């Protein structure tokens, strides 16, 4: 029955021929596990397609609803949080795998004759993947998304001459807002997938048509010195045919390896997704200018590099470096025409790759080391929310610290006339926010001999007192996990004595 169906189809469209061309084709001998990186990238891309389709069913690309729709996905949809976690981790995996695959091709000199076109397509894929990452980062519309995109679009804005135009083009207007989100969403789910699928199809079609590059040794013996030499194509054809003749068929020898690697990669993504999820900060707050944005980790080397260049240099590096990088990658197979492929014969290639890898590593290290300084407040032992940060700023502006001490801050100057004010290092453990708010408003209601002046209106607004309260409740001493025990007593009447 099945055989009959197959014969019926085969008579019309020759599927046996397709099977011979695709599955039974011979691969050159000596393919390593490193050769599975390309197919692993393709596997993760397919994971992104299927998870992305279902994610889009629960997403609303509008600042009013984007954040809520993601909350809903995580809370109310079966395996919604896992799904989002997979998509998030797979996004990182895409970047890692594309870069690793690219390095494999670079190290083995596989971008040389006759695969220059496929190298260029691959460089295109790298930048499409980075485009996915940049546009996808904004979609949750939380603080991280909003502020990282502010920075990202502002970097593009430092381009000479056309900068302001590019910013408006990226944001769909001069401000980051509703039009930006819709635009990024359209790019993320319509434009970039179409682009990526097209280039991937060409990329894979060329791999099938040209075959995988053989081991470097095969093409390094008795080779004409340059790939532009007239006898090189003939030399290549002969050598490649020999290596293929001694090789193995694609199915099942190579495919089984690809699948094993695919399972390991995807299983890792699922474990990461279930263990840590995708994370969601508080909703985007465009008025909170004290938020310190962090880019996705693979942008950290670039992010850190920009900090090393002051002023006008920064703009030059911000736009210049990526441009130089793109050009260098695109032109690589056209200026490197020496035929030798093994790294042993390519000192310049080896050196430049080591410099880039070591430099990126150092920059990531530096960025990670700096992270706590910018994000975690010493006295609270954790990053503060926007209200808590405003409270901290008010605390300083009202000079509360000239009487009250908080460990981790400058101690108050000891003056004889200074009143003996309580230490606030662990105040969050002793008092509830309601008590702190009422006390700051009017200390005399609580202790008729209090030396602390009242901070209630008109000195500070209730909003401002509440912000200081939030900051104070974050102060829980050295161990922020300790549970507070309040024993607050409130004065019996709302009126002040003597009033």
Partner 1 sequence: MSDPGADPLSPAIPRRGFMRVISGVGAAVLGALVGVPVIGAFISPALEKPKVDSWVKVSDDTALLDIGVPVRVDFVQTQDDAWVESRALISVWLYTEDGDVFKAYSGRCTHLGCGFTLAEDKKSFACPCHRGQFDIKTGAVLAGPPPRGLDELKVQVRDAAVYVQYREFRLGVPERIEA
Comparing CB distances to partner 1, the nearer of 266 and 384 is: 266
Site for partner 1 in 208-247 (CB under 8 A): 247
Q: Which of 360, 270, 340 is nearest to 88 (CA)?
A: 270
| CA–CA gap between residue 208 and residue 440 (Å, rounded) | 74
Least Å distance, CB 30 to partner 1, is: 7
Report which of 213, 246, 241 is spatially closest to residue 339, judged by C-alpha positions.
213
Kindly give the pairing relationship between strand 26-27 and strand 376-377. Answer: unpaired
Min dist CB 273 to partner 1, Å, is: 8
List binders of partner 1 among 263-302 (CB under 8 A).
263, 266-267, 270
Q: Is 22 a binder of partner 1 (CB under 8 A)?
A: no
Q: Could you say whether residue 360 binds partner 1 (CB under 8 A)?
A: no
Does residue 182 belong to the site contacting partner 1 (CB under 8 A)? Answer: no
- Would you say 270 or 326 has its CB closer to partner 1? 270
Q: Is there binding between residue 58 and partner 1 (CB under 8 A)?
A: yes
Closest CB to partner 1 among 255 and 349? 255
Nearer of residues 246 and 351 to partner 1, judged by Cβ: 246
Shorter beta-carbon distance to partner 1: residue 62 or 432: 62
- Contacting partner 1 (CB under 8 A), which of 103, 178, 248, 349? 248
Stretch of 1-9, 47-55, 181-189, 367-375 lying at the interface with partner 1 (CB under 8 A): 47-55
In the complex, what is the shortest distance from the CB of residue 139 to partner 1, in angstroms, rounded to a whole number? 14
We find the least distance from the C-beta atom of residue 29 to partner 1, in angstroms, to be 6
Gyration radius from the chain CA atoms:
31
- 14 counts as binding partner 1 under rule CB under 8 A: no
Q: How many CB atoms lie within 10 A of CB 286?
A: 14
Q: Which of 125, 129, 128, 122 is nearest to 104 (CA)?
A: 122
Tokens standing for residue 16: 């046996």
Write down the residue that tokens 């996705």 correspond to: 296
Size of the site for partner 1 (CB under 8 A): 39
CB of 50 to partner 1, least distance (A): 5
**Tokens 């997938």 map to which residue?**
193
- Beta carbons within 10 angstroms of residue 136's beta carbon: 23
Residue 38 contacts partner 1 per CB under 8 A: no
Answer for which of 19, 56, 82, 96 binds partner 1 (CB under 8 A) is 82
Buried b (16+ CB within 10 A) or exposed e, 225-260: eebeeeebeebbeebbeebbeebeebeeebeebbee
The stretch near partner 1 (CB under 8 A) out of 62-70, 360-368, 434-442, 472-480 is 62-70
- 47 binds partner 1, rule: CB under 8 A: yes
What length does the chain have? 499
The answer to the question of residue 79 lying near partner 1 (CB under 8 A) is: yes
Given the rule CB under 8 A, which of 102-110, 259-267, 300-308, 407-415 is the region that contacts partner 1? 259-267
**From the list 36, 69, 149, 304, which residue makes contact with partner 1 (rule: CB under 8 A)?**
69
| Residue 181 contacts partner 1 per CB under 8 A | no
Cα 341 from Cα 232, distance rounded (Å): 14
Question: Is 17 buried (19+), middle (13-18) or exposed (0-12) by CB count in 10 A?
Answer: exposed
Q: How far apart are CA 442 and CA 452, in angstroms?
A: 9
The string of DSSP codes covering 320-388 is HHHHHHHHHHHHHHHH--B---SGGG-HHHHHHHHHHHHHHHHHHHHHHHHHHHHHEETTTTEEPPHHH
Interaction between residue 256 and partner 1 (CB under 8 A):
yes
> Which is nearer to partner 1, 152 or 262 (by Cβ)?
262
- The footprint of partner 1 (CB under 8 A) covers 29-31, 43, 47, 50-51, 54, 57-58, 60, 65, 68-69, 71-73, 76-80, 82-83, 86, 247-248, 251-253, 255-256, 259-260, 262-263, 266-267, 270
């Amino acid at each position: 029955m099945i055989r009959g169906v197959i014969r019926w189809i085969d008579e019309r469209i020759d599927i046996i021929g397709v099977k011979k061309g695709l599955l039974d084709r011979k691969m050159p001998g000596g393919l390593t596990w490193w050769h599975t990186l390309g197919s692993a990238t393709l596997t993760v891309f397919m994971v992104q397609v299927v998870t992305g389709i279902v994610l889009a069913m629960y997403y609303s690309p509008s600042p009013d609803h984007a954040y809520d729709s993601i909350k809903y996905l995580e809370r109310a949809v079966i395996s919604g949080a896992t799904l989002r976690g997979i998509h998030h981790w797979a996004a990182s995996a895409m970047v890692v795998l594309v870069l690793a695959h690219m390095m494999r091709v670079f190290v083995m000199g596989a971008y040389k004759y006759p695969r220059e076109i496929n190298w260029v397509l691959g460089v295109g894929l790298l930048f499409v993947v980075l485009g996915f990452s940049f546009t996808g980062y904004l979609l949750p519309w939380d603080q991280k998304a909003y502020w990282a995109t502010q920075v990202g679009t502002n970097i593009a804005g430092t381009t000479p001459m056309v900068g302001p135009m590019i910013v408006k083009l990226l944001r769909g207007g001069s401000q980051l807002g509703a039009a930006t989100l819709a635009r990024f969403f359209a790019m993320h789910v319509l434009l970039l997938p179409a682009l990526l699928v097209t280039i991937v199809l060409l990329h894979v079609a060329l791999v099938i048509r040209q075959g995988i590059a053989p081991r470097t040794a095969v093409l390094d013996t008795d080779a004409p010195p340059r790939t532009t030499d007239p006898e090189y194509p003939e030399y290549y054809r002969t050598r490649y045919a020999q290596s293929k003749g001694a090789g193995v068929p694609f199915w099942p020898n190579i495919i089984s390896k690809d699948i094993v690697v695919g399972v390991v990669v995807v299983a890792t993504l699922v474990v990461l997704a279930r263990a840590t999820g995708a994370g969601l900060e508080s909703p985007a707050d465009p008025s909170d200018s004290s938020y310190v944005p962090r880019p996705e980790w693979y942008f950290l080397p670039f992010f850190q590099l920009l900090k090393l260049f002051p002023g006008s240099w920064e703009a030059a590096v911000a736009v210049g470096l990526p441009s130089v990088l793109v050009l260098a990658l695109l032109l690589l197979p056209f200026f490197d025409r020496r035929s030798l492929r093994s790294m042993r014969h390519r000192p310049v290639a080896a050196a430049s790759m080591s410099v880039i890898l070591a430099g990126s590593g150092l920059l990531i290290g530096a960025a990670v080391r700096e992270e706590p300084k910018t994000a975690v407040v010493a006295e609270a032992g954790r990053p503060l929310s926007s209200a808590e940060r405003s409270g901290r700023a008010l605390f300083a502006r009202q000079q509360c610290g000239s009487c009250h001490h908080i460990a981790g801050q400058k101690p108050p100057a000891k003056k004889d006339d200074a009143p003996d004010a309580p230490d606030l290092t662990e105040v969050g453990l002793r008092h509830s926010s309601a008590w702190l708010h009422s006390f700051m408003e009017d200390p005399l209601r609580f202790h008729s001999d209090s030396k602390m002046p009242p901070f209630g209106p008109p000195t500070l607004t209730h909003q401002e007192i509440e912000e200081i309260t939030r900051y104070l409740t974050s102060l829980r001493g050295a161990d922020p996990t300790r549970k507070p025990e309040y024993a607050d007593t409130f004065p019996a009447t709302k009126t002040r004595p003597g009033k």
